[in-house]
């Protein structure tokens, strides 16, 4: 922290020195917005440059390094899709050859039909086996359009 404060104090002094040579003297006769803008921008720019170019002192590096590594935080496991679960289609649903909206459409599964998951998934896209009428087709659907068969149809 003291290192950064020192860099910006040095930057302010350098800005004042440069401003006295590079700006009109009338700007400095009395306080004005142009002079304040030159001081603020110059101090920020030069201070940031000094901090970026100068190596950080060893004491500051030692203070920023933790003494002991933190215990790893276990990320929650992604939800496991059961190998076979039955879902109801609540609106007409495109059954696709691969995951994604640009994949070729294999069939249009009508609302009210049931689909069974195979266990394969790619994000929100699940591979399913659809049975409607006398037709049985395997393909990919967006899981956002499915409801568990046990849930009440709304």
Tell me the per-residue pLDDT of 71-106, one tens digit each, with 9 for 90 and over: 555 545 445 454 678 888 878 889 999 988 899 998
pLDDT value of residue 51: 79
pLDDT value of residue 78: 46
Residue that finishes a domain, picked among 16, 33, 64: 64
Residue 78 inside a domain? The answer is no
Residue 77 inside a domain? The answer is no
Distance, CA of 120 to CA of 138 (rounded, Å): 12
Query: pTM for this structure?
Result: 0.44
Q: In this structure, are 90 and 141 located in the same domain?
A: yes
- Read off the pLDDT band of 53 (50, 70, 90): confident
pLDDT value of residue 20: 78
Torsion sign, CA atoms 144, 145, 148, 150: positive
Q: What is the pLDDT of residues 106-153, one digit of tens each?
A: 888 888 888 888 888 888 898 999 887 787 889 999 888 788 777 645
pLDDT value of residue 77: 44
- For residue 39, give both structure tokens: 């001081």
**List of residues 6+ apart from 120 with CB closer than 8 A:** 126, 127
Q: In this structure, are 60 and 96 located in the same domain?
A: no
For residue 141, the domain's CATH number is 2.30.30.40
- Read off the pLDDT band of 69 (50, 70, 90): low
Count of the separate structural domains present in the chain: 2
Residue 75 inside a domain? The answer is no
Residue 73 inside a domain? The answer is no
Domain, as residue range, for 38: 2-64
Residue that finishes a domain, picked among 64, 94, 111: 64
pLDDT value of residue 43: 86
- Residue of 49, 50, 52, 39 whose CA lies nearest to 13: 39
User: Residue 35: is its pLDDT beyond 50?
Assistant: yes
């Amino acid at each position: 922290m003291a290192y950064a404060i020192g860099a910006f104090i040095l930057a302010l002094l350098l800005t004042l020195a440069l401003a006295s040579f590079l700006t009109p003297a009338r700007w400095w006769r009395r306080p004005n917005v142009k002079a304040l803008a030159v001081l603020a921008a110059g101090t920020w720019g030069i201070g940031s440059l000094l901090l970026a170019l100068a190596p950080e002192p060893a004491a500051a590096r030692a203070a920023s390094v933790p003494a002991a590594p933190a215990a790893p935080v276990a990320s929650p496991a992604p939800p496991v899709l059961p190998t076979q679960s039955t879902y109801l289609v609540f609106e007409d649903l495109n059954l696709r050859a691969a995951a994604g909206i640009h994949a070729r459409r294999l069939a249009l599964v009508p609302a009210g039909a049931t689909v069974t998951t195979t266990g394969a998934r790619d994000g929100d896209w699940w591979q399913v086996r659809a049975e409607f009428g006398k037709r049985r087709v395997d393909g990919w659907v967006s899981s956002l359009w499915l409801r568990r068969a046990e849930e009440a149809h709304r």
